Structure 1
Amino acid sequence: MNLRREAFLDRVKERGEYDSLQEAERAARVVLALLGAHLVGEVRAQLAARLPEDFALILLNPLQSAEPLPPERFVRATAAWIEGATEQTAAWDVSAVLSTAADAAGDDLLGQILLQLPAGYDLLFGRPQPA
Structure 2
Amino acid sequence: VTTLSRARTIHLAGFRRSFPVASYLAYVFDKLDVPAVLHDGVAGLGHRSTLQPGDALLAITFAPYSEETLALASLARDKGLPVVALTDPPATTLSGIADTILTVTEIDFGAFRSLSAAIALALALAVAVAARRES
State the TM-score, normalized to the length of structure 1: 0.34
User: Higher helix proportion, which one?
Assistant: 1
TM-score by length of 2: 0.33
Q: Which has the higher strand share?
A: 2
